[in-house]
Amino acid sequence: MTALRQRKGSKGKEPPLGAEFHSQQPNCCTDHHHHLHPEKILHGDWSWGAIIWTSVGWSVSVGLGLLCCIYVATLHENDLWFSNIKEVEREISFRTECGLYYSYYKQMLQAPSVQEGLSDLIHDNLTESRRTINLLQRMNIYQEVFLSVLYRLLPIQSYLEPVYFYIYTVFSLQAVYVIALYLTAWLLSGSWLAGALTGVWYILNRVDTTRVEFTISLRENWSLPFLALQVTAITCYLRPHLTALQQKVLVWLMYVTTFCFCLTWQFNQFILLVQALIIYTLDCVDLLTTTQVTTLYLVQVSSLLSVWLLQFCNSMILGSLVLSFIVAALFIRHCQSGLKTGGLLVRLGKLLLHTTMVLLLSFTINYLAKKALQLRSDEHIFKFIKLKFALGPTRDFDASLYLCEEAFGFLPLDTLERLAGTLLLYPYILTLLLLSGMFAVAALHNLSRSKGSSAEEKKGSGEGEMEAFRPDVAYNLLHTLFYGLLAFSTMRMKYIWTGHMCAVAAYGACGTELWSLLLTVLRCNSKLLLRLVRYAVPLAMVGWLYYQFWPKLMEELLELREFYDPDTVELMTWISTKTPKRAVFAGSMQLLAGIKLCTGRVLTNHPHYEDKDLRERTRQVYQVYARRSPEEVHDILRAVGADYVVLENSICYERRHRRGCRLRDLLDLANGHIMDGPGENDPDLVPASHPRFCEAINSDAPSYSALFTRTFQNKTFHVYRVKKKRKKSHKSSPEPSATQ
């Protein structure tokens, strides 16, 4: 802890270096491209000043990245006492789907060889009972495969446990994330002080920028750093005066980062769809050249197709809406050669027609692709959207299961209160308003000109009547707007928005646009005053943040807790020692992921929900919490091959969710039954003819004991063996029982 405090303290003093640096800069407020950007040296400026201060900027970025990495790693250790708990407790700490993903890393390391490990993943019969599935096709687990191979190759086995290699890699990606945001802010503003402010804001708003310290294996923790790197590469690519070699390098960087992002998260197609809409919008208002638009589209397409090949031709990628949209946008634009001619009203009319045609063609292509591929893997997401925005009445179990989780609800307003508390929200909103106004003016200016309005023509004409809106700023503006709307609609998506929000706010605080406008309004706009304000205000903000939050960070790092879940530990230990290794377990998705990781037993269902058959199977298995007869439940469990079923009191008697959102309520609604407890019910619902299975089985009534035998119980869990033949149901169970 002492070493951590020293490291954090040393990093906290970096920003004043920025003040020294900026006080020595030449005046550069009127020409943005005279700033000391990271790529300045690449443009031929090999002066000692440029080299030294660019090196200082890079050093600060690495320092802030390491600081964030150490911070989240320390929080993880302090919260669980991870270094001191047993292996089974460490594995239980990988909750829900995190445990499922980590289990494949563990499985690869336990395999006799890499080849056998890969073969087991490609022909897996442990994750879903009575089915053999290709995990590399179904799930995004190449990162686990890569890490397991890397761990085998590196000479670190003697002093670094596999679990630490895994979690330290994920925490290191947080450093990459911070560095990427830092570089984006630096590129936009021309000052690495903006990058430093971005890093500080990201760390101080940890609650809203990342949840990596307690959801290590979540796919977003692997993918979002690559998305941030991609945004940095796009920002750099959209800057003017790049050489042909620099453009080629940046295109490859965009491809590699987009590919890594797509490979590590199953929701990649929906995130890229939003990005494709951003590119389309910039194209419509002539802020990008035709070459830039086509290149950005093709980077997305090539990345998705590369992942499609690696995932053994996963049909969900080919049937994605983003591919259909890009094909439609490129085709319609190619056919409409006169789109960007005429006056303002003519252009607006053409634009409306063009957009309508693109959307219609997109949905047509997507519909035909899904029909041809017989694709139904992602239909639950569209049902969720339909239910969330009340686009039609539905009692769909899968959609309701998502909607009832807080993470998939609307963004709570207390998020904005926390962001305002660190001074992040205020410069962000001001920057957003200013840039939106400038964007609207630039868009109308471009659309109202019949000649010379395209980005290509303006690029070559050097027109002087008004300064063009920078394409890199325009992209980042729409990026934060579009993903901000996504975050407000679905809270889980806020982590895409809040990190980039830090970079945009820092650009506003350290860039020239906001301060030039403000000083012009105040009629005191001089170059010296502009420079002074641009650097004094951000430094004052960093100083205030240090004074306000440094003691709180130190206090947070001194809070020591310990992992404590004796009931789950007892359950996992019993399963590992008292059940056959090929036994099949049924239960909740979240618990079964832990059983897979801790015991290696076969599952009936699991949390990776992107499969139609699995969703139906999960709904069937969950009938153990519905009002169904013991015979019906027994038939369901035997049909999926279950040997044991684990019932959880926390689900059967759930109080966490409101009425109508408890799992038992969702099952009752899907089955057409009246819900428990006081409250209204839809008129078409009827009373169930059987008691709730998870409650009634505890009575040990003959109708239940004839089909199920309790083999384990404690305060939280009840495990029952599912008998195979009813005529032999009077025989006692050979399994040992455990009670508490």
pLDDT digits (tens, 9 = 90+) for 117-155: 999 999 999 999 999 999 999 999 999 999 999 999 999
The length of the chain, given as a count of residues: 740
Q: What is the pLDDT of residues 412-440, one digit of tens each?
A: 999 999 999 999 999 999 999 999 999 99
**Eight-state DSSP code of residue 470:** P
Looking up tokens 């900026």 gives 22
539-553, 598-612, 652-666, 717-731: the lowest-pLDDT one: 717-731
Tokens for 355, please give them. Answer: 């957009």
Supply the pLDDT for residue 682. 84
Supply the pLDDT for residue 453. 45
The CA–CA distances, whole Å, from 345 to 157, 438, 449 equal: 68, 20, 11
Supply the pLDDT for residue 614. 93
CB 256 within 8 A of CB 212: no
Supply the pLDDT for residue 457. 52
Tokens for 495, please give them. Answer: 């982590």
Pairing state between β 584-586 and 644-648: parallel
Cα–Cα dist 229/180, whole Å: 5
Pairing state between β 644-648 and 717-722: antiparallel
pLDDT (mean) for 347-376:
93
Give me the amino acid identity at 585: F
> Please, which pLDDT band fits residue 375 given cuts at 50, 70 and 90?
confident
The CA–CA distances, whole Å, from 288 to 108, 184, 281, 371, 674 equal: 46, 19, 10, 35, 57
Q: Provide the β-strand partners of residue 719.
A: 646, 712
Q: Which of 318, 352, 355 is nearest to 333 (CA)?
A: 355
- Average pLDDT across the chain, whole number: 88
Q: Which DSSP string do the residues of 72-105 spell out, in sequence order?
A: HHHHHHHHHTTTTS-HHHHHHTS-HHHHHHHHHH
Cα–Cα dist 215/200, whole Å: 22
pLDDT (mean) for 441-468:
63
Supply the pLDDT for residue 168. 97
Which of the residue ranges 355-364, 366-375, 395-404 has the most confident prediction, judged by mean pLDDT?
355-364
pLDDT (mean) for 567-589:
97
> Please, which pLDDT band fits residue 100 given cuts at 50, 70 and 90?
very high
Percent of the chain with pLDDT over 70: 89
Examine the pLDDT at 11 and tell me if it is beyond 60.
no
Q: Which of 495, 484, 501 is nearest to 427 (CA)?
A: 501
CB 514 within 8 A of CB 538: no
Three-state helix/strand/coil letters over 165-231? HHHHHHHHHHHHHHHHHHHHHHHHHCCHHHHHHHHHHHHHCHHHHCCCCCCCCCHHHHHHHHHHHHH
Cα–Cα dist 312/221, whole Å: 24
Q: Which of 552, 518, 511 is nearest to 421 (CA)?
A: 552
pLDDT (mean) for 209-236:
96
Cα–Cα dist 270/285, whole Å: 23
Supply the pLDDT for residue 526. 77
Q: HSE of 606 in the Cβ direction (CA atoms, 13 Å)?
A: 26
Q: Which of 254, 215, 220 is nearest to 234 (CA)?
A: 254
CA 301 to chain centre: 20
Supply the pLDDT for residue 629. 94
> Please, which pLDDT band fits residue 258 given cuts at 50, 70 and 90?
very high
**Eight-state DSSP code of residue 673:** B
Order of strands, edge to edge, in the sheet holding 717-722? 602-603, 584-586, 644-648, 717-722, 708-713
pTM over 0.85: yes
Cα–Cα dist 216/627, whole Å: 36
The three-class DSSP label of residue 114 is: helix
pLDDT (mean) for 404-418:
90
pLDDT (mean) for 209-231:
96
Q: Is the torsion defined by CA of 129, 133, 136, 137 positive or negative? A: negative
Supply the pLDDT for residue 467. 58
Examine the pLDDT at 520 and tell me if it is beyond 80.
yes
pLDDT (mean) for 19-23:
34
The three-class DSSP label of residue 54 is: helix
Supply the pLDDT for residue 35. 44
Tokens for 508, please give them. Answer: 């506003």
Looking up tokens 């490129």 gives 330
Tokens for 170, please give them. Answer: 């994920």
Cα–Cα dist 577/201, whole Å: 48
Examine the pLDDT at 74 and tell me if it is beyond 50.
yes
Supply the pLDDT for residue 377. 75
Q: Which residues contact 399 (CB under 8 A, 6 or more apart)?
A: 380, 383, 384, 386, 387
Supply the pLDDT for residue 179. 98
Supply the pLDDT for residue 738. 46
**For the structural domain made of 566-722, what CATH number should be given?**
3.40.50
Supply the pLDDT for residue 13. 35
Examine the pLDDT at 9 and tell me if it is beyond 50.
no
Cα–Cα dist 686/689, whole Å: 9
Tokens for 137, please give them. Answer: 């096709």
Helix, strand and coil in the chain, % to nearest 5:
65, 5, 30
Percent of the chain with pLDDT over 90: 71
Examine the pLDDT at 2 and tell me if it is beyond 80.
no
Q: Which residues contact 319 (CB under 8 A, 6 or more apart)?
A: 366, 369, 370, 373, 375, 378
Cα–Cα dist 52/47, whole Å: 9
pLDDT (mean) for 491-501:
95
> Please, which pLDDT band fits residue 450 given cuts at 50, 70 and 90?
low
Supply the pLDDT for residue 556. 92
Q: Provide the β-strand partners of residue 686.
A: 673
CA angle 245, 248, 250 (to 5 degrees): 110
Examine the pLDDT at 460 and tell me if it is beyond 90.
no
CB 192 within 8 A of CB 61: yes
Tokens for 315, please give them. Answer: 């049909």
Cα–Cα dist 623/635, whole Å: 11
Using only C-alpha atoms, what is the Rg of the chain? 29
- Between these two residues, 20 and 349, which has the higher pLDDT value? 349
Examine the pLDDT at 376 and tell me if it is beyond 60.
yes
**Eight-state DSSP code of residue 709:** E
What is the number of H-type helices and E-type strands within the chain? Answer: 35, 5
Tokens for 586, please give them. Answer: 């049924």
Q: Which DSSP string do the residues of 120-172 spell out, in sequence order?
A: HHHTB-SSSTT--B-HHHHS--HHHHHHHHHHHHSTTTTTS-HHHHHHHHHHH
- Between these two residues, 380 and 699, which has the higher pLDDT value? 699
